Amino acid sequence: VSTFIDFCVQSNDPDSSAKTYRMQFGFSVAEAFGLRQFGVALLTDQSLRGMPLSQQKKIEIVLDGMGRGSQIAQGLPSPITSLAYIRDSHHFLLLAVSGDRCLGILKGGVKHLFMLDSQNETHEMDAMCCLDFYTHETVQRQGIGTRLFHAMELHTRISAQGWAFDRPSQKLLSFLLKVHNLQDFKPQSNNFLMSDAAIRLWGAEFKQYRRSKNHYIPDAYLLPEVQESKYLGETGFTKNIHSEIYSAHQLLSVLHHCAQPAGRPKISRVNSLNFWPCPEAKVGLE
């Protein structure tokens, strides 16, 4: 039986009516995701493998609640984030959690897309995508979304400037303009939005993939490698859960769970789910 504690808020959005959103739960969300108290957790299909069913049940409750919150906030016909979706796909989910609360989610993954540039030229690509983004109405404009974006950049080593965004809401578009200076997207028939520069660069990358069969991240969006120890914490609390951290020169084929060509860096495993974008990121999550 679900142990949700209903957290009712009046939405500030004039286009939506009052709804019941799920943010607080009758158990420690942080502990369910392997954190002591607060942080940004990473969930993948691989981290779910071998996880005790009791732990999966708690995670399912959290994902069901946040998935419904995202659905309502975006006016979607059904939730697009759930435990079953993460388990059965190669996508990943980042969650900002604090004690018994889940403050926000960011789902990402690689999608095969056909995108039009500003000259109406079609570009085929396998690109990193933001597939679902939601922060609870009571904690918006407090930096939660920025921390989630930073954690996804850290995990993928790909700048948000180079992502595609699936059916972005007006709030997300405003966020992208304010935080990442992304604007003037060309409407697409597949409802994904991407900067014109990113469309051209990912398209060029896919053309070389056709020749070499190796997927590379466009240099313009490849982030410098960082010392993972600076961003990972509380590893002793995540003995049963594993996440994958990739080197700076990873291949997109790794994100597809394909084999890496010879001579490329190996995947390193870190016994933790916890990402700290920066030391001050704890502020507001306590």
Alpha-helix residue ranges (DSSP H) falling in the chain: 29-32, 45-48, 53-74, 83-87, 144-156, 170-180, 196-212, 252-255
DSSP 158: B
Domain ranges of the chain: 4-282
| pLDDT for 34 | 82
Distance CA 286, CA 65 (A): 21
Category of 109 on φ-ψ map: left (φ > 0), alpha (ψ -120 to 50) or beta: left
* Domain spanning 4-282, CATH class: alpha beta
Helix (H) or strand (E) holding 251: none
- pLDDT(265) > 50: no
In the beta sheet, which residues pair with residue 251?
216
Give the DSSP H/E element, type plus range, for residue 110.
strand 101-116
Cβ 113 vs Cβ 148: under 8 Å? no
What are 124-179's pLDDT values in tens digits? 999 999 999 999 888 888 889 999 999 999 888 899 999 999 999 999 999 999 99
**Across 27-36, 77-86, 100-109, 226-235, least confident range:** 226-235
Is residue 118 within 8 A of residue 196, CB to CB? The reply is: yes
